[in-house]
Amino acid sequence: MTTYSASRLQGISVFVHAVDAGSFTAAAQRLGVTKSAVGKSVATLEQRLGVRLLERTTRRLSLTEEGADFYQSCVRVLAELDEAEARAASRRREVAGTLRISLPVSFGRRWVMSPLLNLAKQHPQLHLDVRFSDRVVDLLEEGIDMVVRLGEPGNSAFLASRCLGHQRIVTCASPAYLADRGLPACTSDVAAHDCLTFASAGGVLPWTLPEGSAGATNLMIDGRHTISDGEALRSAALDGLGIAQLPTWLVADELRSGALVAVLAAQGVRGPPIQAMWPLTRNLAPKIRVTVDELLDCFLPLAPWDSNLPGGGNP
């Protein structure tokens, strides 16, 4: 039996979209990706086949003779896949099989595992395969059904996503540190304090600080200490080493107990989104659908970690 990689089918789908749309630009808009991503996908397909499928002009695409023949075959293949998926879905609506899901290490342990375990109790035929990693995993290459990511989803023609809410970022410090160094009254006061910055992907991330009545600004901070792990950064703040910016999902208990005190804006500022992502298909597998629905129910409209925090409000 011939083995077909996911990328081969994806290249065919992008090619058909490009032909139907009439241009790489229009296809990119339909797929939610960049024009260059569409062009690269079609070029890769042509290279693999060893033939030119499309003639490019500044205004429109046109099929070559080989491209027209290949296009008709692709349309039939995709139609047959649609029909096969529809038949399979109509026969198997129960939540079953193995859900291979990748989670951010700290956030996954604290907030995603409980909903997943609840699903496993509700659906005896569902089997969990949970991996923890803070790197950006390649779902298609690694055979992952679904990921939860902290941050923007980025552009991908082959992934679907659903926003589970937004992180809420607080600037905070221990009461002991503030008693010794004083409370910063405005953004400009931060420069006089010991700041604890967070490093990711080889660089120090800027702080998001309140500006005006409801705005925010990103500033690069000259940190006294730089730490590349959120839990370690929280520990440093608890130990009185300085002021840190941390998501409320990581420090909610400390804010409620008073072990950490929010400064500058007690309610914090709106941070990056929390995303559920999975490979784009025409029929969503029940195991993914119920998992996304469970997480939406748990995290929206107000995330559990943001309930009853000092300062109140929602950024």
Give the closest residue to 97 by CA, choosing from 131, 132, 137, 145: 145
Residue 49, domain CATH: 1.10.10.10
**Contacts of residue 60, Cβ cutoff 8 Å, sequence gap at least 6:** 22, 23
Do the domain assignments include residue 251? Answer: no
Write a three-state SS string for 168-222: EEEEEECHHHHHHHCCCCCHHHHHHCCEEEEEECCEECCEEEEECCCEEEEECCC
| Helical (H) or strand (E) element with 246 | strand 243-247
Task: Give residue-wise pLDDT tens across range 195-225.
Answer: 999 988 778 888 988 776 666 788 898 889 9
Do the domain assignments include residue 120? Answer: no
pLDDT at 85: 66
Do the domain assignments include residue 242? Answer: no
pLDDT at 5: 62
Do the domain assignments include residue 21? Answer: yes
Do the domain assignments include residue 238? Answer: no
Token pair 């992907």 in the structure block, residue? 201
pLDDT at 116: 97
Do the domain assignments include residue 178? Answer: no
Give the number of domains in the chain: 1
Low-confidence ranges of the chain (pLDDT < 70): 1-7, 58, 83, 85-93, 154-157, 212-215, 282, 311-315
Structural domain of 32: 6-91
CA 237/CA 254 separation, integer angstroms: 11
Length of the chain as a residue count: 315
Both tokens of 118, joined, read 């609840």
CB atoms near residue 209 (< 10 Å)? 22
Token pair 């080493």 in the structure block, residue? 241
CA 58/CA 210 separation, integer angstroms: 46
Task: Give residue-wise pLDDT tens across range 275-299.
Answer: 999 988 767 889 999 999 999 999 9
Do the domain assignments include residue 52? Answer: yes
Do the domain assignments include residue 313? Answer: no
CA 23/CA 58 separation, integer angstroms: 9
